[in-house]
Amino acid sequence: MKYGLIPVNLGVSSTQQMVGMAQKAESLGYESVWTFEHVIVPLDYQSKYPYSASGKMGGSPDVNFIDPLIALSFIAAATDKIRLGTGVNILSQANPMYVAKQSASLDLLSNGRFMLGVGIGWLEEEFAALGVPFERRGARFDDYLQGMRKVWSGEVVEHQSEFLNWSGFKSYPVPLQDPLPVIMGGSKGKIHERIALYGDGWFAPTSDLAELARHLDEIRKQCDLIDRDYNEIEISIMWSGQTQQEQIDAYRDLGVARMVVPLFALGADPMSGMSELAEKLIG
């Protein structure tokens, strides 16, 4: 089992704090560190956060929310082996050419340690602030990913669609990893179909065993429909950090490959908390 920590870019007050946390995680044997993304956090919003009964995400609008790719670039420069993931970036509201270029650059400069986690987004007010339509964000997401993979190929890009008109260019560098892992986030809407069609992994926003099993069965069905090997998809979950071996074994039996622990679940002193957790899980 692989173990990760999230988010390393939220509530950060200094480079030393963020990089120091990642360096300590690497020294303790954690496999990966992950980021959250919101470009802005409205003081109030009508959109419903889909993973909380309150419909609101945690955190305050005035907490430092470092851009994920900038944060991971700083961490990449100060570490050697820990993997770097976005959990997740909101692709539908971004310029896909910039995301493709930045992702390839980060993967090259980190020596092939980057995992691009992406989702379609839920916060309509954020889309409005960025001047991007909220409607049809799922279709835009699908199209963006297909176009970005052409950019990463190093070949001449030809991609004309409802959302993109790319023709007659190449973009370098290409990612060091081939393919660059694309991790799908979320559990709503057409997520199972999208994972089967486009995902190298799924970042599940649940750790409930029964719910997780239902989602994995549906992903497997969608893979069967397009004759894709379900075992190609790496499963990661958000996990509370409880260390009962039988629970960890149950996740492993379901096919979970990575358990990502929220830093806020590690107590008032996350640095001490990550050490205690590593001693129990990693040795």
Quote the CA–CA distance of 198 and 233 in Å, as a whole number. 10
pLDDT band, very low/low/confident/very high, at 42 (cuts 50, 70, 90): very high
pLDDT of residue 239: 87
pLDDT of residue 245: 85
Task: State the CATH number of the domain containing residue 206.
Answer: 3.20.20.30
Quote the CA–CA distance of 3 and 30 in Å, as a whole number. 5
Full residue range of the structural domain in which residue 234 is found: 2-281
pLDDT of residue 60: 86
Quote the CA–CA distance of 155 and 7 in Å, as a whole number. 35
For residue range 84-110, list pLDDT tens digits in order: 999 999 999 999 999 999 999 999 999
For residue range 111-142, list pLDDT tens digits in order: 999 999 999 999 999 999 999 999 999 999 99
Burial status of residue 23 (CB atoms within 10 A of its CB: 0-12, 13-18, 19 or more)? middle
For residue range 134-160, list pLDDT tens digits in order: 999 999 999 999 999 999 999 999 999
Quote the CA–CA distance of 205 and 58 in Å, as a whole number. 14
Continuous segment of H or E residues that includes residue 234:
strand 234-238
| Backbone torsions φ then ψ of 149, nearest 5 degrees | -65, -30
Q: How many domains does the chain have?
A: 1
